[in-house]
């Protein structure tokens, strides 16, 4: 993996201050090429799920690699267009939005993926077959590393149940909807490739209902390693199995379909680091706390999903190992790590949180009226600030009323 060295991270912390998000562009490139190579035997297309990290400079970098864009809101679509993506390269997959937003996106000309019977009927009645769509189906497959990030099970709010196919067919027939794609996404952090293959079989069975079909979208959810010793999804084996399945489908039906994927975390998780400073070392009757100058206002995943982020003391990597609880500085219980073994931490040391590229800054806030971190991208050995402030920071400076 293309990890940035402790020295590089510490130098960036000294230069730009902490807390600080750092993204390694080379890591994104490695992950993207890993996918394109794995699925080279398929007619595959990759849409970066930008909800994981929407910094416009990251979007532009993904575009430079040849990627397309997956969006879940009208503003993500607009950001993608500003970043230079063509409308044909953008897929819009909303959930529980009103019809007015969908109408606004339709005017932008991008690919639209609908996951609601009511919205499907409204869209069909208004546009008929004049604007092709994709339909998101719920395959009723429970998968993912945490129930909160599982999206394909029977109780999920996402997608139209595969058991409502008769209803979908009636709407399509009545309104002359042109369905060119069907979509599924079962969750995130999926280790077992059989989850994708099981879902693909469901999609193939659904495909027979749509004569104009051009592609099947399998979403994403590829696992990336968070803890030492973790393994990521075997995309090479999955690519081989998917290619075989699509070839067999073409032989049996005479239809050649494209396969779409929407990697988000897989592309940007490992590129990101959150660098923080140890404010205080606090010893209590039961534990030793490292209190850092950040909190769940900057990285909420450990508190929201009980997720693990590897932490390293980049100021004292060879220090004597000790056990700490790493906690934040906001007025809330914001524990990043319990009973974590780290080289001895002293006040003023820099700690680096790994795998902070996906849903790190993107889910950050100004809770406790604290500013969000700056973001720096390292590309070809050169670092540059890609986001320094937000409206809230400008407000504190008296620049916005």
Give the C-alpha separation, 138 to 114, whole Å. Answer: 12
Active site annotation includes 271: no
Contacts of 194 (CB under 8 A, 6+ apart): none
Catalytic: which of 42, 134, 271, 331? 331
Active-site positions read 331
């Amino acid at each position: 993996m293309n990890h940035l060295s402790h020295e590089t991270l510490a130098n960036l912390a000294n230069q730009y201050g902490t807390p600080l998000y750092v993204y390694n562009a080379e890591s994104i490139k490695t992950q993207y090429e890993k996918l394109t190579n794995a699925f080279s035997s398929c007619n595959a297309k990759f849409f970066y799920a930008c909800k994981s990290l929407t910094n416009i400079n990251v979007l532009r970098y993904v575009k430079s690699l040849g990627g397309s864009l997956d969006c879940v809101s009208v503003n993500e679509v607009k950001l993608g267009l500003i970043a230079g993506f063509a409308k044909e390269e953008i897929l819009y997959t909303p959930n529980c939005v009103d019809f007015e937003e969908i109408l606004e996106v339709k005017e932008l000309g991008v690919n639209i993926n609908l996951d609601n019977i009511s919205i499907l009927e409204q869209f069909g009645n208004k546009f008929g077959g004049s604007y092709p769509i994709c339909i998101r189906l719920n395959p009723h497959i429970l998968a993912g590393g945490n129930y909160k990030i599982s999206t394909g099970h029977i109780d999920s709010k996402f997608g139209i149940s595969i058991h409502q196919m008769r209803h979908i067919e009636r709407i399509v027939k009545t309104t002359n909807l042109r369905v060119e794609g069907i979509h599924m996404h079962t969750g995130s952090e999926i280790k077992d490739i059989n989850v994708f293959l099981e879902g693909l079989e469901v999609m193939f069975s659904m495909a027979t209902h749509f004569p104009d079909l051009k592609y099947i979208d399998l979403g994403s959810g590829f696992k990336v390693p968070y803890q030492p010793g973790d393994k990521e999804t075997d995309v090479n084996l999955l690519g081989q199995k998917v290619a075989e399945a699509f070839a067999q489908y073409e032989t049996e039906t005479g239809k050649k379909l494209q396969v779409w994927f929407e990697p988000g975390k897989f592309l940007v998780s490992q590129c990101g680091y959150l660098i923080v400073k140890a404010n205080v070392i606090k010893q209590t009757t039961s534990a030793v706390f490292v209190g850092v100058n950040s909190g769940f206002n900057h990285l909420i995943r450990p508190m929201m999903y009980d997720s693990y982020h590897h932490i390293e003391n980049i100021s004292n990597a060879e220090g004597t190992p000790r056990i700490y609880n790493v906690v934040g500085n906001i007025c809330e219980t914001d524990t990043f790590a319990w009973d974590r073994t780290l080289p001895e931490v002293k006040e003023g040391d820099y700690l680096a949180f790994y795998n902070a590229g996906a849903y790190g800054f993107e889910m950050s806030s100004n809770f406790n009226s604290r500013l969000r971190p700056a973001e720096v991208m390292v590309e070809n050995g050169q670092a540059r600030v890609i986001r320094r402030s937000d409206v809230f920071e400008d407000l504190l400076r008296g620049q916005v009323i």
